[in-house]
Structure 1
Amino acid sequence: MASTRSRSLVHLLATLTVFTAFAGQFWRNLLDWWGFGIIAGICILGAAVALAVLRPRLEGRRVPKALLAFVGLCTLSIAWSFYPAASLIGVGIQLGTAVTGVFLALCLSYAELIRALAAAFRWILVLSLLFEAWVAIVVRGPVLPFWVDYGEPPYPKAFYWSRGLLLDGGPIEGIVANRNLLGFIALLALLVFVVQLVEGTVRRGWAIFWVVVAAVVFALTRSTTVILALVVVAAALGFALWARSRGAERRRPVYLTAAASVVAVVVLLITLNGALLKLFGKSEDLTGRFDIWNAVIGLAQQRPVAGWGWMGYWAPWVEPFDGLAVRKGVTYLQAHNAWLDVWLQVGIIGLVIFIALIGSTLWRSWFAAVDRPRTGISDTDPYTARSLLPLLILAALLAQSLAESRILYEGGWMLVVALCIITKRAQYSAVEAPDAASAPVSSDSGRMR
């Protein structure tokens, strides 16, 4: 009974942690930064306590070196930071978020992690629909966040918590106050819910219901960024399934086709970018992103090797970020490209390490997805669907990273840390115990012993 209760508490903490990491703006708009800080602190402290009590062991060789190197460099950057106080805060937030990722990876089995993700995403999607319905039907007008004085109207669109456009077919912002973020959460939820449907871990009727809810929210956000992320995820899924069908010795056509596809897409984007942007209803400057990117590149070139110092989210009151990215009265707190943001903050050194971190995690996720578990499990075993999830989530994060920097903080960073550790653990499980299923591939009890 005590063990069941403790696992229930771990699941509850994991669900709250995932919810807070992805819906932090909900807490900030509802309870101000102080309320958000208290809830985020509870999640981080709870994760640390769970790690201390459960004491999951992780052998040195199973610790992702690139992850340690990147976090270590960000921490060391305080020493040469142009804004050391802000860097100290940013590194503290990064480390706290990393602790939650480690908690998800080591204190939950892979099946428990999927259930926690599904539960948190359900809450975000349902609350978003209810909130948008309340704004559209009861308020009948746009709603601003609580506790913030924006002065006299008119206000930029980005200032509103919701613009109340649900009955008009969107776009909706949901409780997270951003249609791109809500659309991305809906995409991740769709991946998780489909896996649960295929595996049969949730009753079929409910599983189909939640897939439909995620698809509806995804459509209502009308986010071009997330539509493109869906295309990338679909391509990753197609190539992974093709690689599975070919077997380990006959995959050269898969890799050649994938490489040719990447080249073709790059050429298409360069030659037809104007037409493509018009097709998706985007301005030629990608809604101001070109101006932000140019400003970030110019600043990064002033300190190209080690950067200006880690911060994560930009602090708009700190030089040189004060006024760096302002468009139509809105001050943006990110480079809207994770790779440029890393270069700006920790230089070429940090960018190389970050590429190694993401690349190694993607590499392990690919082989976890395409190589069958070495246990004689049949092709219809439900775990084969589960093994695709790390690859598809990373594909979505990578697609998002080209237009957003969210992979560097909050939910994005938490998932990167968790998947990095999970795939590293699975890699050694497959090597050391070829007759036992690895954690993200086929294990329901994948905690470290």
Structure 2
Amino acid sequence: MTGGSAVAALREFAGSARLAQALTLIAVGLAFSTHAVRSLIGWPGLLAALTALIALCGVSLVARWRAVEWYGILPLTILVFVGWCAASVIWSATPARSAAGVAYLVAFTVLGIYVALMRDTIQIVRAFGDVLRFLLVVSLALEVLSGVLLDLPIVFLGIEGDIASLGPIQGVFGSRNLLGFVALIALLTFVIEWRTKSVQRGRAIASVVIAGISLLLTGSPTTWIALGAALVAALALYGLRRAAPATRWNWQAALLGIGIIGIISAWLLRIRIIEILDARAEFDVRLDVWRELSRYLNQNPLQGWGFVGPWPDRIPYTWIELATGRPHGSALSAYIDAYFQVGVIGAVLFVALLGIALARSWLLASTRRSVVYTWPALMLVVLVVTSFAESFALLEGGWMLLVVCAVKAARDMSWRDALAQARSAAGG
């Protein structure tokens, strides 16, 4: 083979759809298995894998440059929020750690953008389905190995082996709440696969069962609340998709009003809801963290302490952990984490990112014929609700999922187009 033909072959391979598919699977897999990767090969190994993956994605993107539709690829909300996080390095209490945290955030932002650009929505659903199916099966297998066959914890993965007593289990994710979050988005993804007939019926049913078992065994109250919100959203979308186009805008407005009333009611009845879910212990943990955070928020309310992502062993985070008597990797709320790290401005930008992405994806899901458009909307509902009690939406796989959904929604419909289309349907 001559040099020219070898270069042409490499260029063809770099621009192939098969490479894009493989890189998408690896990106999703790495983003949602960071705990397991760190446990096996440490931070240096994870960062090396992440760097190599980004380099390969860059090569693939350059090779497929002309095939990409660049119009509206990035919502401004992502650019502004990430830009504000990057700017926080200037006033950060720990500038070197903030620079590393921003680089880590940007890395998963790049992966999310690559996935959203290279694959259409059904291909993304399939990629998430394949990866999450594998991770849940591995998690359950290791839990059975630890709790039933060996009756010993797998310490380096954080698996305690409690499956014999019906949980809580952690799988390869390091915490029951993260496993619950992954199991929930997997469950919704598997249902979309089933509805779109993109996998065989038997495989879809088995996948739903696996996700359901994982969800039950986590015993995560946060996940149950998010599941309830997702089911309500799914029912609302089911009704909207079958409503006459002329009345759909009125139904949207009615649902918005009902949603606001529901949120206010949930807040007023929060203590009773916590008691029903037997979540008093988890709520008390979060309350302790938020109480300690409030002591430092007043010092930098507008700009925050500087973005760091996962909490480092640095002041003031170590002070908060000492005061609460336990280590924390986050503020246990994405909204409060954003407020603490990048201030009021950053928190507002983060809420705007979530809200605009949800509005766009919701309008798409309620107007497009294919059921696959409901996937981004449901993912964002889960992220919005989970972010009240966990910081997954700011970290690794959760952030990448948010970027993927936001970019896909922005590419398919800008907010101006969405409102114009809805009003046109209502009027005509």
Same-fold status (TM-score > 0.5): yes
Asked whether the 8 Å contact 1:125–1:217 carries over to 2, the reply is yes
The counterpart of 1:286, out of the listed 278, 283, 287, is: 283
**1:4-83 correspondence to structure 2 within 5 Å:** 6-55=16-65, 57-59=68-70, 61-83=72-94
Q: 1: distance between equivalents of 2:417 and 2:255?
A: 29
Cα deviation, residue 369, structure 1: 0.4
Cα deviation, residue 108, structure 1: 1.6
Q: 1: distance between equivalents of 2:264 and 2:71?
A: 40
Equivalent position SS for 2:246? coil
| Aligned length, in residue pairs | 408
Structure 1 position 415 matched with structure 2 position 401 = yes
The counterpart of 2:354, out of the listed 355, 358, 369, is: 358
- Corresponding residue for 1:150? none
The counterpart of 1:263, out of the listed 258, 261, 264, is: 261
Structure 1 position 210 matched with structure 2 position 210 = no
Tell me how large the CA RMSD over aligned residues is.
2.5
Cα deviation, residue 109, structure 1: 2.3
**AA in 2 matched with 1:48:** G
The counterpart of 1:403, out of the listed 389, 392, 409, is: 389
Asked whether the 8 Å contact 2:39–2:156 carries over to 1, the reply is yes
Q: 1: distance between equivalents of 2:372 and 2:267?
A: 33
**AA in 2 matched with 1:415:** L
**1:216-231 correspondence to structure 2 within 5 Å:** 216-231=213-228
- What are structure 2's unaligned runs of at least 5 residues? 1-8, 421-428
Higher helix share: 2
**AA in 1 matched with 2:264:** V
Cα deviation, residue 329, structure 1: 4.7
**1:107-256 correspondence to structure 2 within 5 Å:** 107-145=118-156, 161-251=158-248, 252-256=250-254
Asked whether the 8 Å contact 2:73–2:411 carries over to 1, the reply is yes
- Corresponding residue for 1:94? 105
The counterpart of 1:295, out of the listed 292, 296, 299, is: 292
The counterpart of 2:374, out of the listed 385, 388, 405, is: 388
Q: Could you say if the C-alpha distance between residues 430 and 10 of structure 1 is closer, same or farther in structure 2, counting changes exceeding 3 Å?
A: farther
Which has the higher mean CA deviation after the structures are superposed, 258-267 or 385-394? Answer: 258-267
Q: Could you say if the C-alpha distance between residues 102 and 261 of structure 1 is closer, same or farther in structure 2, counting changes exceeding 3 Å?
A: closer
Cα deviation, residue 58, structure 1: 4.8
Asked whether the 8 Å contact 1:285–1:291 carries over to 2, the reply is no
Cα deviation, residue 5, structure 1: 9.6
**CA distances 1:234-285 after superposition (whole Å, capped 9, x unpaired):** 1111111222222343242453344234324433442x43332222122266
**1:324-363 correspondence to structure 2 within 5 Å:** 324-326=320-322, 329-363=325-359
- Corresponding residue for 1:273? 270
Equivalent position SS for 1:145? helix
Q: 2: distance between equivalents of 1:61 and 1:168?
A: 50
**CA distances 1:321-375 after superposition (whole Å, capped 9, x unpaired):** 11213577531021111111111111111122222211111111011100135xx
Cα deviation, residue 45, structure 1: 2.4
Asked whether the 8 Å contact 2:72–2:411 carries over to 1, the reply is no
Q: 2: distance between equivalents of 1:299 and 1:407?
A: 23
Q: Could you say if the C-alpha distance between residues 83 and 281 of structure 1 is closer, same or farther in structure 2, counting changes exceeding 3 Å?
A: same
- Corresponding residue for 2:426? none
Q: 1: distance between equivalents of 2:188 and 2:154?
A: 31
Equivalent position SS for 1:288? helix
Equivalent position SS for 1:388? helix
Cα deviation, residue 32, structure 1: 2.1
Asked whether the 8 Å contact 1:50–1:103 carries over to 2, the reply is no
Cα deviation, residue 390, structure 1: 0.5
Asked whether the 8 Å contact 2:71–2:411 carries over to 1, the reply is no
Cα deviation, residue 210, structure 1: 1.1
**CA distances 1:89-123 after superposition (whole Å, capped 9, x unpaired):** 01110111111001101112222211211111011
**AA in 1 matched with 2:336:** L
Q: 2: distance between equivalents of 1:108 and 1:99?
A: 14
Q: 2: distance between equivalents of 1:186 and 1:60?
A: 34
- What are structure 1's unaligned runs of at least 5 residues? 147-160, 374-383, 435-449
Q: Percent of counterpart pairs with the same letter? A: 30
Equivalent position SS for 2:155? coil
Q: 2: distance between equivalents of 1:72 and 1:266?
A: 33
Structure 1 position 323 matched with structure 2 position 329 = no
Q: 1: distance between equivalents of 2:348 and 2:15?
A: 44
Cα deviation, residue 9, structure 1: 2.5
Asked whether the 8 Å contact 2:72–2:410 carries over to 1, the reply is no
Which has the higher mean CA deviation after the structures are superposed, 356-365 or 390-399? Answer: 356-365
TM-score (norm 1): 0.85
Asked whether the 8 Å contact 2:304–2:343 carries over to 1, the reply is yes
Q: 2: distance between equivalents of 1:174 and 1:344?
A: 30
Q: 2: distance between equivalents of 1:430 and 1:194?
A: 31
Q: 1: distance between equivalents of 2:368 and 2:74?
A: 24
Which has the higher mean CA deviation after the structures are superposed, 343-352 or 41-50? Answer: 41-50
TM-score (norm 2): 0.89
Asked whether the 8 Å contact 2:153–2:160 carries over to 1, the reply is yes
